[in-house]
Structure 1
Amino acid sequence: MKVAIIYNKDLTGVINEFGLQNKERYNVNTVKKVAEALEHGGHNVRIIDGNMHVIESLQEFMPKVIEGERIGMVFNMAYGIQGESRYTHLPAMLEMLGIPYVGSGPAGHALALDKVITKVFLQRYNIQTPQFWVFSDDKSDMSDVQYPAVVKPKMEAVSYGLKVVQNADELRAAVKHIVSEFQQQALVEQFIYGREFCVGLLGNSDPEAFPIVEIDLGGDPGAVQTASDKLYNPRRKICPAQVPLERAAYMVALSKQAFTTLGLKDFARIDIRTDKDDNVYILEINSMASLGLTGSYVYAAQVAGYDYTALVNKMLDVAAVRYFSETLHVRGASPLTTVKTPLSVRLRGFLRSNADKTEKLLAHMVNINSYVRNVDGVNTLGTLVQKWLKQLGFELQLIPQVEIGNVLLFNNTGSEPDIMLLSHLDSSTPFTKHIHYRETPHKLYGTAIWNSKGGLAVMIAALRALRFARLLRKMKIGILLTTDTTLQNRITQSILESTFKKAKIVIGLSGASPDGSVITSRSGAAVYNCQMNLENAQSAEDVAQANAHFNSLLAALTKLSSRADNVLVTLRDVTMKSGVSTLYAHGEASLSVRFNDTYHAEIIDEKIRHTVKKAKCPHCRFQVSGSMRRPPMTRTQEAEHLYMLIKDICQKLDIRANEEHRWSSSDICFIESTKPHIDGLGPVGQAPHDDEEFILRHSLLDRAILLAMLLNTLTQEKHT
């Protein structure tokens, strides 16, 4: 299942800073710990910042049910950024988007976060809670308050602002501080001398209660836990608490009643104090019980038999049952770590923890201009890739090229490779039009980032992950990086053909389309140059007729496109120059032709030449030159087998995989049709225009784990 963990990292990610700013947030290490636990449970996990970009990030990652994919879920760890009822902000947004999530809904969070409303509900249902008062300022009549009393903000958690007061002066000062500091009413409640307990609940209709935790107050019935204590000097926890079984059962029953009364879901922590006569008082209910490793909720779960991985996955399971099926299997408390960690979990964990390094490498590559004629730039990019591959045990065979930059051929075994990875270093964008790397929360932009450089980053990340898993040394992998893809391999065609013959399987690293495609076939390419020249013009009318006839010829050529024959003829780089003071007219156009088999390539070649030959215009001469540059990459049974392997891996990883025929040609088109091959293992993205080329940020990890798992599967197939 796809699971998006949403927490608040960037508290400035709003349109305006307005209202009360949140002080409560998760430590990033705790968030990563939750992600590791969910990955261990077999889920495809993304960590998303719960700021104003969260909807766009979810759109990129979460599957759409209408497309027939498994629905994903959100593991909500977002306390909110600012404003009132901040716990409700993300759940309300997810309700609108139609995305299921772990934890209580907006109504439950609103009731639980507002301590005054919580107490009103508890009293309404005869659940004992300390007597309380509410004040909006320090000038109010406070004569009814009984001392000692506890003063705290009415809509905060983790004991922010909590203070025990002994008299009216202390009370007024505490109320003034809370109203000023927290911009909300102050809740004043009767202080209960005695012991303090926590009850953790997990589940819904009859939630499981963890063993009761007692907060060790050191024998002082007047002691409390402040926010500072919880953060810097947490008190010792005793679990299970030393209370009679009957009293413990009563605490649990009251906790479950309070949980149900407020309409909470999935999990919560109930805070309790008992007085000297063992009367039980519910202080408050935390609808987003902390998953910090030192927190009482996690501690109680451990005593109940849950390790961290089991607890986090159980929380996801109970939410999934609530949404999808009452009969869905829910994991119990038996630790998941007793079995060997699946390879996909180990790979994903490594890739996620090294995501920043992968993006930094990609940024470095994108910022190098490697225009096909910029030999220094191409070689600089090649040197960077070589440095990373050398660390992974790959040896370089450099094939010098003066005109276009050096072709690089790598091998990690010294023998002929079983699998050849294919990409290129050159791009079609000159230095003056180069777009440097930039990022948004969900997309990465820059020249050649989708076309080639994203694929290079995916390759290096996948190989690093395989080395981490100690599998790379068992594989025989070659890597070929060409430098004239933009020129349709006019120079390196023979290198490609000879290299392909030595490999058993070839995998291309071109970027994938937005639907997560894998390329099983490509069109071939032919390029023609059509020219017109006006000779011996007698009048301005001859100039006009020459231009008109050339336009008509170009229109006739594009009409040679045939949907039935899968032939596409398009115009590129049309230039026309003419004058009437000095009579002249010149025209030139480049024709790009795409075809899916060589038979129709030969037919369209004849048609193009015949169309130009029969073009008639007084005083004009027409000519055409050109031919096939690349053959088509046809879909074969071998390619279908590779695609089915990929589709099976993607299904297990919960990654999108669709088959694509791509109308553009590429280096891989020179492969023999009998050789197993597939393309499109680079990151998901698009290049609608030169300055808008992008990849989806999360797809770097998805495609890296896909490539790593595919390489491992193919290696295992070879040995079986």
Structure 2
Amino acid sequence: MKIAVVYNRESQAVINLFGTQNREKYGLETIKMIREGLISGGHQVKTFEGDKNLIKKLEEFMPTVISGERPGLVFNLSYGIQGRGRYMHVPGMLEMLGVPYVGSGPETHALALDKVVTKMILLQRGLPTPKFTVLDTPDSPVTEDLKYPLIVKPKDEAVSFGLKIVYDEEELREGVKVIYETYHAPTLVEEYIEGREVNVGLLGNNPVQALPPVELEFGDGPQIFTYEDKKNKSGRTVEKVCPAPLTEEETEKIQQLAIDTFKALNCYDTARVDFRIDREGNPYILEVNSMASLGADGSFVYAADKIGLDYKDLMNRIINVTCERYFGAGFLAPTDEELQSTEVRLFNRLTKKRSLIETDLKTWTNISSRTEDPVGLSRIRKKLEDRLTKLSLIPVMEYTNGRSAWTFETKAGLKNGTLLVVPIDVPGDRTGFPIPFRTEQEWLYGEGIASSRGGIVTMLSALNALKEQKLLNKKNIGVLFYSDEGRGMRYSSSTIQKAAKEAAEVIILQPGFTDGKVVDQRRGTKQFSLIIEGDPIRIGKETESIDVLSSFIQNAEKIQSFSNRRKKLAVAVQDVRSERYSVLKPHRVYATLSITYIDEKLAYETEMAIRDLFKANAKGVRTNIEKLVERPPLIRQKNDPMLERLKELSDRWQLPFGTESSLLSSAAGEVGRSTPAVCGFAPASKGLYTPNESLHRSELVQRSLLLALYLNGE
């Protein structure tokens, strides 16, 4: 499970610093111990400051979960940066984000931090607390009949800030003045209870477990736990005794009062209630710490140790009770893998390793392999060959041309199995440095991340999951990767055609569409290079000859009439450039023309019409048309068994799924009509073939899971 430990220590990353600044901080050693304790429980843990950057960091660390996946969780240690309601800030942010977290909600922290409101709630519930009053200023009158000695403390501070015993009016006014000037807050004044101080830690929710009471023995000096005591600056050692030397009846009474207080303030997961017990044995509730200290020397940790929870066990027990509150009992309970179905084991493997999958994607994305870069292509080819070899796949030389297409297969072989096809080159006329990998909550960015890398990682993740379950070598699976997508598969198409005839079905790992849509129909593409040449013509010269640029423009306008939206035919001019001498008109024009289509007969007729249109029929004009790319379409099939199986798996595992038609050609067109094929099986994309190319983050694990389930074939 992903756990973010959130705390406040050094960062003051807010828009403006003003108001009451936080004085409470967890030590680095405690943060480290908590992190190590959670890691020992098998969790993936990162630590973050609870500042204005927290949302972005959590978005990167905790992507939106898929159905059935364990979500991330925040272990909240945040006391806030500033303001009187600082305990509430991080819980409030997490409530808004929909991120589960350890500890009470913002409303409980607001109540517990305001000691006066807490005492009013206690009195309303009939729970014992010392008599009190509130002085807004040093001159405010004491309206209650209180007996000295009294305790003064700020009404909404913690960690015993400003805590002091006063014995007369003069000391009272001086104590209130110090609090007023230091904390700019009203002062809580309550009767001092002569006797013993006992703390009770609480753990859990339903039921709430009261830990053994801890008594504080102060030795010499004030018989209260001061800020200086807590920070080891008082010069004395406050001893902890656990369990407190109380009778069984007294212990049960004080524990029940602690539980009643926990419930009265609607606390969650952990808290600590502080008591004073007078000389007659009567307990009085002093306050509630809704964020009980988890420092190794704190009374909460000390009491937990007495019931057999060492520090690591306690941290993981806190996670368990939090998960039980959010997700129900047994959410994190270990399960017997022997009793799980293969599909469940595949699901657990892939969802638990989502971060490793994203890390793998980052590694692949940061390797440049543009279509025109032979060095980069060689590097990525070797890396993929190494990964497939580690998966125990073996090369198939019959379907490898050694130049642009390579095929591997499992020990069971490709014949009558599933062929996975994925490009390794990044298409497009690209210049400059590659775009590096970066993360947002819903999208992952980087050069070729969707057009190539997403398919590679989806395939490898699914195959890894099958191998870990000792299933891969039993499955008839082949992997064909090619390096000339950017050249329209000019060199690899024949190899793919042969390999596809050997397989029973083909899955093309090109980008799909959002909402889990794969591609069941793609247009074919014809692309042509056109060169028009003529004699140089001086500007302003009267001549019967037309310059080549004007000739091209006239014919280019006619091309638009060939397109037919209803028949899914589009004709376009993609690139144009010209050459000329000095002040003369252009004497040569280069252009790239393309046709996208579904109907192959109509596409052929359109090609002939274009060739006829650009025949040299003007004096001094010469033309040449060369076909650069011809990629067949993928035609939608009725009652496709592959789509039916994928739909059934998606429904069972609550994965988004659908079908879509695409205007872009792919390797799917090279698969013979007699072999079932599905394209767009890689995660959805945005900005494909642009510097802003991105891949849908959740679909990375969704697609990996669906592919693994499909290849498993149960």
TM-score range, shorter chain: 0.7 to 0.9
Correspondence for 2:708: 711
Verify the 8 A CA contact 2:218 2:239 in the aligned structure 1. no
Deviation at 1:198, TM superposition (A): 3.0
Is 1:595 aligned to 2:594, yes or no? Answer: no
Deviation at 1:75, TM superposition (A): 5.2
Aligned mates of 1:567, 1:290 — CA distance in 2: 69
Matching residue's letter, 2:650 = K
Aligned mates of 1:694, 1:479 — CA distance in 2: 24
Is 1:315 aligned to 2:325, yes or no? Answer: yes
The 5 A counterparts of 1:78-97 are: 78=76, 79=78, 82-84=81-83, 85-93=85-93
Deviates more, 1:114-123 or 1:20-29: 20-29
Distance 1:504 1:596, change over 3 A: same
Correspondence for 1:576: 578
Distance 1:316 1:583, change over 3 A: closer
Correspondence for 1:527: 527
Deviates more, 1:16-25 or 1:490-499: 16-25
The DSSP-based 3-state class of the residue aligned with 1:527 is strand
Deviation at 1:137, TM superposition (A): 12
Matching residue's letter, 2:569 = V
Distance 1:50 1:355, change over 3 A: farther
Verify the 8 A CA contact 1:523 1:631 in the aligned structure 2. yes
Aligned mates of 1:18, 1:132 — CA distance in 2: 34
The DSSP-based 3-state class of the residue aligned with 2:486 is coil
The 5 A counterparts of 1:631-650 are: 631-636=632-637, 637-648=640-651, 650=653
**Per-residue deviation, residues 89-135 of structure 1 (Å, max 9, x unmatched):** 24544666799989765433322334454335435655333567989
Matching residue's letter, 2:694 = F
Is 1:386 aligned to 2:396, yes or no? Answer: no
Correspondence for 2:275: 273
Distance 1:211 1:145, change over 3 A: same
Distance 1:193 1:505, change over 3 A: farther
Is 1:678 aligned to 2:678, yes or no? Answer: yes
The DSSP-based 3-state class of the residue aligned with 1:692 is coil
Correspondence for 2:365: 366
The DSSP-based 3-state class of the residue aligned with 1:381 is helix
Verify the 8 A CA contact 2:454 2:700 in the aligned structure 1. no
Deviation at 1:496, TM superposition (A): 0.8
Distance 1:537 1:12, change over 3 A: same
Aligned mates of 1:682, 1:234 — CA distance in 2: 62
Verify the 8 A CA contact 2:270 2:290 in the aligned structure 1. yes
Deviation at 1:76, TM superposition (A): 5.5
Deviation at 1:315, TM superposition (A): 0.9
Give the TM-score of the pair, scaled to structure 1: 0.73
The gaps in structure 1 that reach 5 residues or longer are 38-44, 203-207, 318-330
Verify the 8 A CA contact 1:268 1:286 in the aligned structure 2. no
Is 1:629 aligned to 2:623, yes or no? Answer: no
Aligned mates of 1:315, 1:34 — CA distance in 2: 19
Verify the 8 A CA contact 2:6 2:74 in the aligned structure 1. no
Correspondence for 2:661: 661
Deviation at 1:356, TM superposition (A): 5.3
**Per-residue deviation, residues 2-44 of structure 1 (Å, max 9, x unmatched):** x99765379759455846467359744677799969xxxxxxx
Deviates more, 1:211-220 or 1:290-299: 290-299
Verify the 8 A CA contact 1:397 1:409 in the aligned structure 2. yes
Correspondence for 2:496: 496
Verify the 8 A CA contact 1:7 1:77 in the aligned structure 2. yes
Deviation at 1:492, TM superposition (A): 1.1
Verify the 8 A CA contact 2:437 2:444 in the aligned structure 1. yes
The gaps in structure 2 that reach 5 residues or longer are 233-237
Aligned mates of 1:211, 1:100 — CA distance in 2: 21
Verify the 8 A CA contact 2:350 2:704 in the aligned structure 1. no
Aligned mates of 2:47, 2:112 — CA distance in 1: 26
**Per-residue deviation, residues 528-585 of structure 1 (Å, max 9, x unmatched):** 2233333475854668864344223223323422221112223322113346844543
Deviation at 1:186, TM superposition (A): 8.9
The DSSP-based 3-state class of the residue aligned with 1:214 is coil
Distance 1:411 1:9, change over 3 A: farther
Deviation at 1:425, TM superposition (A): 1.8
Correspondence for 1:567: 569
The DSSP-based 3-state class of the residue aligned with 1:690 is coil
Matching residue's letter, 1:466 = L
Distance 1:252 1:472, change over 3 A: farther
Greater Rg over alpha carbons, structure? 2
The 5 A counterparts of 1:162-561 are: 190=192, 193-200=196-203, 202=205, 208-217=206-215, 248=252, 252=256, 255-256=259-260, 259-260=263-264, 262=265, 264=266, 269=271, 271-273=273-275, 275=277, 277-287=280-290, 311-317=321-327, 331=328, 336-337=333-334, 340=337, 347=346, 350-351=349-350, 354=353, 357-397=356-396, 405=403, 407-413=405-411, 415-416=413-414, 418-428=417-427, 432-442=431-441, 443-535=443-535, 537=537, 540=541, 546-561=548-563
Deviates more, 1:558-567 or 1:335-344: 335-344
Deviation at 1:477, TM superposition (A): 2.9
Aligned mates of 1:176, 1:349 — CA distance in 2: 60
Matching residue's letter, 2:209 = P
Deviation at 1:440, TM superposition (A): 3.9
Correspondence for 2:118: 118
Please give the root-mean-square deviation of Cα atoms over the aligned residues, in Å.
5.5
Correspondence for 1:328: none
Aligned mates of 1:561, 1:63 — CA distance in 2: 43
Deviation at 1:180, TM superposition (A): 12
Deviates more, 1:579-588 or 1:548-557: 579-588
Aligned mates of 1:476, 1:212 — CA distance in 2: 58
Give aligned-pair identity as a percent: 22
Verify the 8 A CA contact 1:269 1:297 in the aligned structure 2. no
The DSSP-based 3-state class of the residue aligned with 2:212 is strand
Correspondence for 1:129: 129
Aligned mates of 1:15, 1:93 — CA distance in 2: 14
Verify the 8 A CA contact 1:369 1:430 in the aligned structure 2. no
Give the TM-score of the pair, scaled to structure 2: 0.73
**Per-residue deviation, residues 166-201 of structure 1 (Å, max 9, x unmatched):** 999x99999999999999999887476154323446
The DSSP-based 3-state class of the residue aligned with 2:661 is strand
Aligned mates of 2:431, 2:609 — CA distance in 1: 38
